[in-house]
Amino acid sequence: MMKSDAEWRESLTPEQYRVLRGKGTEPAFAGAYWDHSEEGTYLCAGCGLELFASAQKFDSGTGWPSFWRPVAPDRVGIETDLSHGMRRTEVHCARCGGHLGHVFNDGPEPTGLRYCINSVSLRFEPAAARP
Ligand code: FE
């Protein structure tokens, strides 16, 4: 799914555009999902791909929704991010390339990973709404 920059600007809210297309970060403890524990699936806000599930969500204390793995390894891509004087691993949607957040090595078992994701990059779908 390849959209032009103008098409992304049109289909996303300004905050979604800033984070998904501009690799921005939402403020901690401010997004819709950091404190959200309903059962269901988190889709890419850009393209609707299923990325994360409530079963792998945990409270990291960071103020961002955190998961110890995506629903499948091929749903996300990673890239080294050297911005802001840090060396981090950026995480993006494998289908539309939208920026999601970063992955760190201080997560819980069984993976030891912490996918630290912006709420604004996600759209929650409750389990009850699924066919
Ligand atoms: Fe996407």
Span 51-109, pLDDT tens digits:
999 999 999 999 999 999 999 999 999 999 999 999 999 999 999 999 999 999 999 99
Q: Looking at the domain assignment, is residue 69 inside a domain?
A: yes
* 116 is a domain residue: yes
Q: What is the mean pLDDT of residues 19-26?
A: 98
Q: In the predicted model, what is the mean pLDDT of the chain?
A: 96
CATH number of the domain bearing residue 19:
2.170.150.20
Task: Mark whether 96 is an active-site residue.
Answer: no
Q: Is residue 130 part of a domain?
A: no
Q: Alpha-carbon distance 75 to 121, whole Å? A: 14
pLDDT band at residue 2 under the 50/70/90 scheme: confident
pLDDT at position 35: 97
Rounded distance between C-alpha atoms, residue 45 and residue 58, angstroms: 20
The pTM assigned to this predicted structure is 0.95
- Tell me which residue of 71, 73, 77 sits closest to 57, measured CA to CA: 71
What is the 99 CA–ligand 1 centroid distance (Å)? 9
Instruction: Give how many domains the chain has, as a whole number.
Output: 1
Distance 37 CA to ligand 1 centre (A): 22
Residue 35 structural domain: 5-125
